[in-house]
A and B are shown apart, each in its own frame.
Chain A
């Protein structure tokens, strides 16, 4: 069945059993992603971003709901077909060093995927490795380097090159710039944008840097305790943040003050911490920290509501 979306995530939930208790990592999340587009996932650590990214690629099995990749329910297709689909779905992590074998050269690590999938002759593969290195901005000599000989920024380029080996259609970028210095972050973001345009890639871009997510994403979903509390086009989310949690997140960003105004930003008082995912609060999960909470918030769970142009908010009072 052909589908207009590259990826459809429908009512997906993921729970973990930890010491006899159930941890709600992702709760009833839905979204669509098209080729050439980027969905940004934001939220504090522990909000379920990485888990959601893994479930979307079936690196983890969902406990509820389903994930369709190009129309195929990846939770139900046979293993052999899944292996084929895997080539189209890649992930890049924050720490590329962790996924590289320290005793393997960078070139061999990139070539590995071709070897596993029996693609090309030896010289063929080496040509591809060289092309990829060049494409991600590394010198050909990098092929002979070991991971520890490269800087963080260079390693992340290797991570990108590896993700590109099998010409994927979807890449989950999980905190890929978080460990990099700002000047290097910008180089990597520029590379990711160019690659997306050239190859019509769909991205799920996970980051706790809201400004970068705003910059790179077409749509953004804000997660809190495993639930999407707000989902909108990137422009709309930042122009009109409508969930109180999104508002708190945006107010927490310290911007370099405008040279004209010269007044620095007031350091704000923010209430509380994220509650335990083992026993999420009843009603609206954000109510214990919400400056606007009313009685209804403590008892009734707000349903996601479209407040206009697909801007969806789960708050009783959003308008």
Chain B
């Protein structure tokens, strides 16, 4: 595929703790095409947020990017200084967080907060920014935008606050939107409304989206490509259709089987035993080995690298071919 908008290569991130280190991201690579939607899925602690946020300069002070590149339109974000990053963030790359309350200023009218970014980034004059804010609020499905402009965050429901966050993130028409679990805290009906809104905006603007989610239902229905993270490593990447039809990593398969879907009253439960590890040394074997039903000695001794099994389908498992050929 020609011209990836966003391309992460061999990203490694460590965090210092009082008496050890956490290897939170270990050689993660993926790309997002123009207008594409990448789903970044994995359980909590798998490195989804750290991966994306560190690319745009949002990393806690005890964390360090040890290696890797994160190219946005060909320029490595990891080599930029704070000022350059602040410029790109908000203007070229919009961000939505899971909890809108942490990123909305409780003491500022929501309209002013939406306008602020446009003015700071010289995207619009104050007058134009005001008009655009009113328009945006309307587009986001917020009734009576002119009145609501003057309200404070606490005067909105959770769903409405998330719409305001989206308005802020989209204000300067970014090329890439990073959405970190934007619907996890919301009811299913509100989740549906928010996802429909995002899709509509994406199609209008040909924007790319990195959708961080732990929900396979959201990932498979909203995204055209999916990357599965586990212990800070990419376990599998595939286009959504392939991902649904032929998952090849035992972890992906285990996770899919863990989801109880509607209409499964009579099914048996086969949970993945144990829990995900926090790595305090770099991985030298398969991080899933302790929980994997297909584990062999090789898995415990040799790190499976991410490799192509078919077309754009990549898997980091020694036994991926056997899985795909139904040999196991």
Instruction: Choose among A193, A208, A251, A268 the residue that contacts B187 (Cβ–Cβ < 8 A).
Output: A208
Is B196 a contact partner of A268 (Cβ separation < 8 A)?
A: yes
Residues B189 and A262 in contact, CB atoms below 8 Å apart: no
Question: In the complex, how many residue pairs between chain A and chain B have their CB atoms under 8 Å apart?
Answer: 130
Known A182-B258, A187-B271, A189-B269; contact A249-B188, beta-carbon cutoff 8 A: yes
Residues in A lying within 8 Å of B, measured CB to CB = 44-45, 151-153, 181-187, 189-190, 193, 208-212, 214-215, 234-235, 238, 248-257, 259, 262, 264-265, 267-270, 273
Number of chain B interface residues as a range: 35 or more
The reply to whether A250 and B262 contact each other, CB–CB distance below 8 Å, is: yes
Chain B residues closer than 8 Å to A238, beta-carbon distance: 262-263
A254 to B211: give the CA distance in the assembly, Å: 15
Q: Which residues of B contact A (CB under 8 A)?
A: 43-44, 157-160, 187-193, 195-196, 199, 214-218, 220-222, 240-241, 244-245, 254-256, 258-265, 267, 269-273, 275-276
Decide if B275 touches A190 in the complex (CB within 8 Å). no
A253 & B187 in contact (Cβ 8 Å cutoff): no
The distance in angstroms between the C-alpha atoms of A44 and B158, with both chains bound, is 12
Are B196 and A269 closer than 8 Å at their CB atoms? yes
Q: What are the residues of chain A within 8 A of B158 when measuring CB–CB?
A: 45
- CA separation between A252 and B241, bound complex, in Å? 21
When chains A and B are docked, how far (Å) is the Cα of A44 from the Cα of B256? 25
Known: A186-B271, A215-B265, A259-B244. 19 other contacts (CB 8 A): A44-B189, A151-B275, A182-B214, A183-B258, A184-B275, A186-B260, A187-B271, A189-B260, A193-B269, A211-B261, A215-B267, A234-B265, A248-B189, A256-B217, A256-B261, A262-B244, A264-B221, A267-B222, A273-B160
Closest residue of chain A to B254, judged by CB? A183
Selected contact of A44 from candidates B187, B241, B258, CB within 8 Å: B187
Query: Which residues of B have CB within 8 Å of A186?
Result: 258, 260, 269-272
- Complex contacts, A182 vs chain B, CB 8 Å: 43, 214, 216, 255, 258-259
Measured between beta carbons, the chain B residues less than 8 angstroms from A248 are: 189
Is B215 a contact of A254 with CB atoms below 8 Å? yes
Q: Is there an interface contact between B221 and A254, defined as CB atoms closer than 8 Å?
A: yes
Give A215 to B265 CA distance when docked, in angstroms.
5
